[in-house]
């Protein structure tokens, strides 16, 4: 039974893998599309360093392969130039004492030939996701992807492994696998996007194979305890669906117990998911009894709800997306119950190479930071 003293709140220190974090406020991964030419910049270093009072920062999703180029000016971690450029970002965060994980990402079917030098995006099956993308030729619908041949899959697992190694060379403290939101790992896992009839499709065990192979590859680089994975069992983005999400995600999460991971990062449904169709809601109580390790919960939290979920014991840390985007000093604001800046969706994503600071590094702090 929890005693009053042992009840966690957002400001209780916590062990995460080998690290001790000063608080349980995590910056959720957020794509900001300001890596011009997919190369990280000094502006990105400034942005992440501003948010360093969060116990852990997770980067925006970062390509492990050029075929993952779903969004213009998203960063990569597959070339030497990218690795070198990330170093200024990790150094800026570490100079201020932060802990920093890189989110490894393959977009799979979320792509378009106009972003991929004319190539089709790849996926478990030739089933198009729903939705649109901004491309050099304007706004386009998602293209029907090319189904990966079975012999091509090991090379993609290897891209994740190499990305993990590159993240280590760039100075990160760990990596998070993007297994959420309808991208490649999620596409293999859910049967709405995976209709393969080989050992990567059909049964839940087969659909989870790609995810588990990637986890195995990445933990071979970092060990389990500096690797996390984000999952979104109720996400409907890009037309994602599964005929039995409770069974599918229970299997995957049970299997993840075997890796001694730093954490799993579980997303709750958002308003669009809830309005789209029936989804698992809330997610956390379903999977908490299955997962034996650390859980970061995400989705729509404020200070009160964050403290409530921590004191319930259903999660160990809480990640904040939009609130940390708009409030670089969110932990301090929570501590003193200050008003919060409002996130401006118009500047969530960079457009081209102009005005990139706007809505990025210019959200005000509560008061000027001491020099």
Ligand X SMILES: Cc1cc2nc3c(=O)[nH]c(=O)nc-3n(C[C@H](O)[C@H](O)[C@H](O)COP(=O)(O)O)c2cc1C
Answer yes or no whether residue 77 interacts with ligand X by CB under 6 A. Answer: no
Answer yes or no whether residue 333 interacts with ligand X by CB under 6 A. Answer: no
Marked catalytic residue, from 47, 48, 183, 320: 183
Nearer to ligand X, 207 or 265 (CB): 265
C-alpha 184: how far from its chain's center? 13
Q: Which of 101, 222, 251, 320 forms a contact with ligand X (CB under 6 A)?
A: 320
Answer yes or no whether residue 11 interacts with ligand X by CB under 6 A. Answer: no
What is the SS3 assignment for 324? helix
Distance between CA 339 and CA 177 in Å, rounded?
Answer: 33
Residue nearest to ligand X (CB): 321
- CA angle, 2 then 260 then 90, to 5°: 100
Nearer to ligand X, 17 or 321 (CB): 321
Sign of the dihedral defined by the CA atoms of residues 156, 78, 100, 341, in that order:
negative
Given a contact cutoff of 8 angstroms between Cβ atoms, the answer to whether 91 and 48 are in contact is no
Distance between CA 226 and CA 16 in Å, rounded?
Answer: 8
Nearer to ligand X, 28 or 52 (CB): 28
Candidates 121-129, 234-242, 278-286, 314-322 — which segment interacts with ligand X by CB under 6 A? 314-322
Answer yes or no whether residue 328 interacts with ligand X by CB under 6 A. Answer: no
Answer yes or no whether residue 327 interacts with ligand X by CB under 6 A. Answer: no
Please state whether 32 falls in left (phi above 0), alpha (psi between -120 and 50) or beta: alpha
Answer yes or no whether residue 51 interacts with ligand X by CB under 6 A. Answer: no
Other CB atoms closer than 10 Å to residue 156's CB: what's the count? 23
Q: Which of 35, 44, 60, 236 forms a contact with ligand X (CB under 6 A)?
A: 60
Q: Which of 298, 307, 341, 347 forms a contact with ligand X (CB under 6 A)?
A: 298
Answer yes or no whether residue 28 interacts with ligand X by CB under 6 A. Answer: yes
Q: Which of 49, 56, 61, 252 forms a contact with ligand X (CB under 6 A)?
A: 61
Catalytic annotation on 69? Answer: no
In angstroms, give the least distance from the CB of 116 to ligand X. 19
Enclosing H/E stretch for 205: helix 204-207
Other CB atoms closer than 10 Å to residue 153's CB: what's the count? 19
Nearer to ligand X, 98 or 201 (CB): 98
In angstroms, give the least distance from the CB of 191 to ligand X. 21
Answer yes or no whether residue 299 interacts with ligand X by CB under 6 A. Answer: yes
CA–CA distance from 287 to each of 61, 141, 153, 297, 342 (Å)? 24, 34, 29, 11, 32
Answer yes or no whether residue 68 interacts with ligand X by CB under 6 A. Answer: no
Distance between CA 43 and CA 371 in Å, rounded?
Answer: 19
In this structure, are strands 138-141 and 132-135 parallel, antiparallel, or unpaired? antiparallel
C-alpha 150: how far from its chain's center? 26
Nearest-Å Rg of the Cα atoms of the chain is 19
Answer yes or no whether residue 267 interacts with ligand X by CB under 6 A. Answer: yes
In angstroms, give the least distance from the CB of 320 to ligand X. 5
Candidates 22-30, 147-155, 288-296, 356-364 — which segment interacts with ligand X by CB under 6 A? 22-30
Nearer to ligand X, 60 or 225 (CB): 60
Q: Which of 50, 103, 190, 235 forms a contact with ligand X (CB under 6 A)?
A: 103
- Percent composition of the chain: helix, strand, coil (DSSP 3-state, to 5): 35, 15, 50
Answer yes or no whether residue 179 interacts with ligand X by CB under 6 A. Answer: no
What residues between 140 and 169 interact with ligand X by CB under 6 A? none
By annotation, the residues acting in catalysis are 183
Q: Which residues bind ligand X (CB under 6 A)?
A: 28-31, 60-61, 103, 178, 180-181, 230, 267, 298-301, 320-323, 348
């Amino acid at each position: 039974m929890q005693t009053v003293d042992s009840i966690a709140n957002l400001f209780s220190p916590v062990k995460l893998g080998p690290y001790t974090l000063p608080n349980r406020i995590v910056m959720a991964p957020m794509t900001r599309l300001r890596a011009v030419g997919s190369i990280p910049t000094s502006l990105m270093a400034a942005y992440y360093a501003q948010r360093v009072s969060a116990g852990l920062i997770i980067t925006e999703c970062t390509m492990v392969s050029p075929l993952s180029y779903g969004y213009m000016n998203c960063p990569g971690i597959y070339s030497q130039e990218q690795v070198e450029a990330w170093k200024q970002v990790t150094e800026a965060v570490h100079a201020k004492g932060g802990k920093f994980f890189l989110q490894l990402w393959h977009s799979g079917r979320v792509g378009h030939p106009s972003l991929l030098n004319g190539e089709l995006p790849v996926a478990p099956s030739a089933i198009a996701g729903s939705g649109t993308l901004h491309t050099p030729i304007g706004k386009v619908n998602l293209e029907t992807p090319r189904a990966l041949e079975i012999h091509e899959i090991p090379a993609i697992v290897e891209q994740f492994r190499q990305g993990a190694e590159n993240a280590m060379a760039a100075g990160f403290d760990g990596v998070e696998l993007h297994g959420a939101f309808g991208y490649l790992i999620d596409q293999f896992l859910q049967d709405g996007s995976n209709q393969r009839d080989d050992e990567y499709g059909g049964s839940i065990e087969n659909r989870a194979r790609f995810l588990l192979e990637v986890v195995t590859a990445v933990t071979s680089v970092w060990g389990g305890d500096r690797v996390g994975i984000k999952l979104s069992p109720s996400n409907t983005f890009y037309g994602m669906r599964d005929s039995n999400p409770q069974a599918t995600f229970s299997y995957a999460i049970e299997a993840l117990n075997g890796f001694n991971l730093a954490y799993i990062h579980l997303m709750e449904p958002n308003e669009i998911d809830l309005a789209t169709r029936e989804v698992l809601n809330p997610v956390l109580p379903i999977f908490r009894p299955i997962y034996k390790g650390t859980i970061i919960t995400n989705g729509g939290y404020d200070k009160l709800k964050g403290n409530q979920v921590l004191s319930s014991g259903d999660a160990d840390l809480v990640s904040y997306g939009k609130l940390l985007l708009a409030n670089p000093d969110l932990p301090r604001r929570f501590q003193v119950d200050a008003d919060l800046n409002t996130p401006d969706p118009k500047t969530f994503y960079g457009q081209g190479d102009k005005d990139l600071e706007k809505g990025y590094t210019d959200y005000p702090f509560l008061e000027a930071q001491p020099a």
